[in-house]
Amino acid sequence: MKNGMFIAFEGPEGSGKSTVSRRLLDDLRRDGYDAMRTIEPGDTELGALIREILLKKDKVHLTTRAELLLFEADRAEHVEEVIKPSLHKKRIVICDRFNTATYAYQGYGLGLDMAAIRDIDDFAVQGVVPDLVIVLDVDPKTGLERAGRKRAKDRMEKRSVDFHRRVRKGYLKMAEKDPRRFRVIDSGQDIERVYEQTKAAVYEHIGYNKRPGKGC
Ligand code: TMP
């Protein structure tokens, strides 16, 4: 591939993205692709500190704008230090959440101004955006219950179900507006089916990009 490939996994809480994206990484590697997996927030030294503040230290007061800027600071560092160099090395980069999460959570969820988010996000990503966004869609109540079974709730998971409903709606709206880049997979199904459908979507995308003149 000319410039690698950037695949983001998104979805409401408890959608199973981590499990599915890890399995996908294993399969891609087994099939000979130079693939890597990374996460947001938290995959750089700075990012790990930011993740701690954003999710764990929920006694630290954060205004909604400060929250947005912290996610974007994590992203700016992540893009420059990890994602861009990996794409230049023609790797397949799988990212467990990227900027669609900001539009969904801070935009649709918290109601921050979308135009302002776009300006700040554009500055952070420097034109590096996912080629493919897989949204694992799950009803927020089911997802929050699933997530709650695994570990203690973080700052986001403590927010109301209504907040998480707005997030989900946001994801679905964005996917509807941009069907070329987005694939929505029903993650309420059995995990094997979720995985098979995800893998099919990703391999179809890779196949499309391998066509002559598509940069492979
Ligand atoms: P996760 O790594 O378990 O998915 O947790 C990340 C949390 O941060 C999740 O609740 C979604 C949230 N988030 C935002 O609110 N905005 C963002 O831009 C990103 C990347 C994540």
Q: H-type helices in the chain, by residue range?
A: 17-30, 45-51, 64-78, 84-88, 99-102, 114-125, 140-150, 161-177, 191-209
- pLDDT of 208 reads 72
- pLDDT of 216 reads 39
Residue of the CA atom closest to atom 10 of ligand 1? 156
Residue of the CA atom closest to atom 21 of ligand 1? 101
> Ligand 1 pocket, 51 CB below 6 A?
no
- pLDDT of 215 reads 46
What's this model's pTM, rounded to 2 decimal places? 0.95
Residues 199 and 56: their CA atoms lie apart, in Å, by 32
pLDDT beyond 80 at 148: yes
How is 121-139 classified by DSSP, letter by letter?
A: HHHHHTT---SEEEEEE--
At the second CATH level, the architecture of 5-209 is 3-Layer(aba) Sandwich (3.40)
Q: Which of 50, 98, 156 to mutate to test the pocket of ligand 1 (most atoms within 8 A of CB)?
A: 156
Please state the atom number of ligand 1 nearest to the C-alpha of residue 17: 4
Q: Ligand 1 centre and the CA of 9: distance in Å?
A: 11
> Ligand 1 pocket, 41 CB below 6 A?
yes
Report the range of poorest mean pLDDT among 6-10, 94-98, 203-207.
Answer: 203-207
- pLDDT of 213 reads 52
Report the range of poorest mean pLDDT among 69-83, 111-125, 145-159, 189-203.
Answer: 145-159
> Ligand 1 pocket, 40 CB below 6 A?
yes
- pLDDT of 127 reads 97
Q: Ligand 1 centre and the CA of 41: distance in Å?
A: 6
pLDDT beyond 50 at 111: yes
Percent of the chain at pLDDT exceeding 70: 96
